[in-house]
Amino acid sequence: MMTKNTVSRFFPSLSLTRTSFIVSTWAFAALLNSTSVSALALSAEDFQPLVPDKEQQAASIHVSRQLLLSHYRKQPIDRVLSERIFENYLNALDSQRIYFLASDVESFEPYRYRLDGALKTGQLEPGFNIYNNYEKRVIERLTYLLKMLDAGIDKLDFNKNESLQTDRKDSPWLTTKEEMDDLWRKRLKSAVLSLKLSGKTDEEIMKTLRTRYESQLNRVLQTRSEDAFQAYMNAFTGVYDPHTAYFSPRTSENFNINMSLSLEGIGAVLQSDNEYTKVLRMVPAGPADKQGQLSPADRIVGVGQGKTGEIVDVIGWRLDEVVDLIRGPKHSTVRLEVIPAGTKDENQTKVISIVRDKVKLEEQAAQSKVMEIEKDGMTKRIGVIDIPAFYADFKAMQEGDPNYKSTTRDVKNLLKELETEGIDGLVIDLRNNGGGSLQEANMLTGLFIKEGPTVQIRNSRGVDVLKDPDPELVYGGPLVVLVNRMSASASEIFAGAIQDYGRGVIMGSQTFGKGTVQSVRSLNHGQIKITQAKFYRVSGASTQHKGVIPDIELPSTIDKTEIGEDALPEALPWDAIEPVEHTKYTSTSDILDQLKGRHEARFNATPEYKLLLEQIEFLKERRETTTLSLNAAERERLQQELDKKQLELINKSRVIKGEKPFKTIEEKEEHDNELAANPKKDKELDFVAKEGAEVILDLIEFNQRFATHSDNPAHYTLR
């Protein structure tokens, strides 16, 4: 909706009485939706700069004090930090270097070493001046695109051999308007070409792109000083670490917007990523998790309602606006148009249908299965417990409900059930478990050790140690813990403790590396989420940055350069503190080479593993593509090759599962839509879980002390 402030910012000569405001807004909207927005002759001369208010100035001072006094990383706000804030701000606004000219950046240079003093005293003009310049450049680019559409897409030459660079973050700033125009001509040409190859007519292409660019322009025109202030403050907080952030009053009202979305929409945690809405992770047992097609680092570019509703382009929208569009009635369908993770062509999208629902606590609960494996003429029974999250029903706990649900309680009950069934070993599956309750991670570890420390937490006051006070060893048999890149926080605490105690073998890929603790504090204007502590394992090693390195590492399709703590700018580094005394049950080092040898021999002969390696290589090739051809024939050839390879990999997977191959990509998409309407409730055991069971059988064969139920385990005192 166009506001009074928006109109006055760009058309200050308009008389804004109540009546004239309504008429003027209507007229502006009519022009915006007419044949060409360029009829407005919108330019830098029409732009009225955003200015900070007194509350924002005071908030800048409060944020500075909070960072100085309370942040885990004790770093002064000085000239050195000022330069980092300066670079971080430019990168946040224009990471691809497609808006600012070199002359713009040169004009900002006087601010490079002055932001420290300005922020501490509430002088926000430097940040606002840069933001206002950014807005003007965005308006110029969007009006340029709309003028090109006015001229007609038939003027674009698709027989010419030229290309578009897909990643410009390390490129130099362009120096002239002509260079910038040429870059954006190529961007438009690429967008048109992608839509042509998707089967759209020229008329449909014109409509799609005009709607997209006008919508983006409309949102730029609605920008308020609060948007500039939040962007500037987050460039400031972001140099301390990626999890420290400023929330404006409006954002503070929706501080739990990600969790609210998880519980009321599709079950995905989203974040803003420049002009895109990016998928951070899926909520365990949520609609998106069950549907299975949405992935971390996918970028949402469109949202459609129902099975046939028009998909609305959401590029350039605010996060809360996108969330509002994704939310909807339970059991209704929402369609997301996404750029798949790692895809360089921003116009190469796919549509994913998800049926909205609420995430029920019972669906996030740990679940168990028993796997039977034939070994040397005998049937071995291996229990598998899948733990999607570290949860606790705090409300029921506070109300005194003796049967309240929690991860530890549920797993303890499952272990007793599995013991009754007579299992020979146990696999704990923490893949895609993004964490949760720290207390639950502590107590869950206690089920697998007699007693002792589980994690260290260091803050400004010193080091606190969480311990398992219960001497009961619920399960002391052979144990394998499965992890992957999306295993984070509480998952890493548990896996790290199991590894440090020698209680089991950790198997999978390097975990996320989220080893910090945040708290939220209210300010005079908004809130600040600030990192105040750091997790350390009982061995003294931090889980921050490095995460947990598995004993047996497996390759993964997840791109470590894009997902994980070490992929985030300004992430706190790994370090170590003194270990705490703990009982080491056994050492895997003596048998690890043997375990790895047997594992590799099995995996190399496994069709699923061979397919996984093919998928990884395919994704790697796509990520390494740095240019897009703007020649229609060449682009079509490359697209056909891509579709063919994707279909080939999909069909190999189906054949391995005993399913009928798809004949076309379209047939596969129809099948996906059917699955979206009826997602599977039970997660099938995959080949990695089955390999975990095989590793347990190797452990048993090697007669290691992992299998002991003795009350007197081997004790190595570590200091």
Query: Which DSSP letter does residue 464 get?
Result: E
Residues 131-144: what's their mean pLDDT?
A: 97
**Residue 677, pLDDT score:** 64
Q: In 3D, which of 692, 695, 514, 480 has the Cα closest to residue 597?
A: 695
- Provide the mean pLDDT of the chain: 87
Give the CATH H-level superfamily of domain 245-355.
Answer: PDZ domain (2.30.42.10)
Determine which helix (DSSP H) or strand (DSSP E) holds 349, and give its type and residue range.
Answer: none
Identify the band that residue 692 occupies on the pLDDT scale cut at 50, 70 and 90.
very high
Residues 119-136: what's their mean pLDDT?
A: 98
Identify the band that residue 703 occupies on the pLDDT scale cut at 50, 70 and 90.
low
Whether 630 and 193 have beta carbons less than 8 Å apart is answered as yes
CA distance 134 to 100: 7
Residues 290-302: what's their mean pLDDT?
A: 90
Identify the band that residue 719 occupies on the pLDDT scale cut at 50, 70 and 90.
very low
pLDDT digits (tens, 9 = 90+) for 200-229: 999 999 999 999 899 889 888 888 999 999
Whether 248 and 224 have beta carbons less than 8 Å apart is answered as no
Determine which helix (DSSP H) or strand (DSSP E) holds 534, and give its type and residue range.
Answer: strand 527-536
Whether residue 68 is predicted with pLDDT greater than 50 in this model: the reply is yes
Percent of the chain with pLDDT strictly greater than 90: 65
CA distance 282 to 296: 7
**Residue 698, pLDDT score:** 93
Identify the band that residue 674 occupies on the pLDDT scale cut at 50, 70 and 90.
confident
DSSP SS3 for 80:
helix
**Residue 711, pLDDT score:** 46
**Residue 254, pLDDT score:** 56
Q: In 3D, which of 513, 465, 463, 464 has the Cα closest to residue 488?
A: 513
From the CB of residue 321, how many other CB atoms can be counted at a distance below 10 Å? Answer: 14
- The larger pLDDT score, comparing residue 62 to residue 291, is at 62
Identify the band that residue 684 occupies on the pLDDT scale cut at 50, 70 and 90.
low
- The larger pLDDT score, comparing residue 259 to residue 423, is at 423
As annotated, the residues of the chain forming the CATH 2.30.42.10 domain(s) are 245-355
Task: Please state which of the four CATH numbers 3.30.1490.20, 3.10.110.10, 3.30.300.30, 3.90.226.10 is assigned to the domain occupying 376-515+532-606+687-707.
Answer: 3.90.226.10
The angle at the Cα of 585, spanning 581 to 586, to the nearest 5 degrees, equals 120
Residues 6+ apart with CB under 8 A from 65: none
Rg over CA atoms, the chain: 28
pLDDT digits (tens, 9 = 90+) for 251-280: 766 544 433 333 457 888 888 887 789 998
Output the CA torsion sign for 243, 491, 536, 466. positive
Which of 26-30, 152-156, 220-224 is least confident?
A: 26-30
Which of 155-164, 575-584, 657-666, 691-700 is least confident?
A: 657-666
Whether residue 658 is predicted with pLDDT greater than 50 in this model: the reply is yes
pLDDT digits (tens, 9 = 90+) for 541-566: 999 999 999 999 999 999 998 999 99
Backbone angles phi and psi of 697, in degrees to 5? -65, -35
**Residue 95, pLDDT score:** 94
Looking only at the bridges linking them, the beta strands covering 163-165 and 627-629 are antiparallel
Q: What is the DSSP string of 322-344?
A: HHHHH--STT-EEEEEEE-TT-S
pLDDT digits (tens, 9 = 90+) for 275-284: 789 998 888 8
Distance of CA 79 to the CA centre of its chain: 32
Token pair for residue 121? 């005293």
Whether residue 341 is predicted with pLDDT greater than 60 in this model: the reply is yes
Whether residue 292 is predicted with pLDDT greater than 60 in this model: the reply is yes
Whether 547 and 513 have beta carbons less than 8 Å apart is answered as yes
Residues 367-372: what's their mean pLDDT?
A: 95
Whether 555 and 541 have beta carbons less than 8 Å apart is answered as no
Which of 145-159, 309-323, 648-662 is least confident?
A: 309-323
pLDDT digits (tens, 9 = 90+) for 490-532: 999 999 999 999 999 999 999 999 999 999 999 999 999 999 9
pLDDT digits (tens, 9 = 90+) for 440-494: 999 999 999 999 999 999 998 999 999 998 889 999 999 999 999 999 999 999 9
**Residue 679, pLDDT score:** 62
Q: In 3D, which of 69, 48, 50, 68 has the Cα closest to residue 119?
A: 68
Determine which helix (DSSP H) or strand (DSSP E) holds 320, and give its type and residue range.
Answer: helix 319-326
CA distance 253 to 520: 13
Output the CA torsion sign for 18, 21, 23, 26. negative
**Residue 31, pLDDT score:** 37
Token pair for residue 463? 């080091």
CA distance 369 to 389: 17
**Residue 668, pLDDT score:** 84
**Residue 8, pLDDT score:** 40
Residues 107-124: what's their mean pLDDT?
A: 98
**Residue 318, pLDDT score:** 80
Distance of CA 624 to the CA centre of its chain: 21
**Residue 716, pLDDT score:** 33
The greatest distance separating any two alpha carbons of the chain, rounded to the nearest whole angstrom, comes to 90
Whether 141 and 316 have beta carbons less than 8 Å apart is answered as no
CA distance 466 to 454: 6
Token pair for residue 145? 């695109």
Whether residue 62 is predicted with pLDDT greater than 70 in this model: the reply is yes
Distance of CA 583 to the CA centre of its chain: 37
**Residue 176, pLDDT score:** 98
* Residue for token pair 């990016």: 278
As annotated, the residues of the chain forming the CATH 3.90.226.10 domain(s) are 376-515+532-606+687-707
Catalytic (active-site) positions: 489, 500, 514
**Residue 622, pLDDT score:** 87
Whether 509 and 563 have beta carbons less than 8 Å apart is answered as no
Q: How far is CA 714 from CA 228, 582, 642, 708, in A?
A: 60, 11, 55, 10
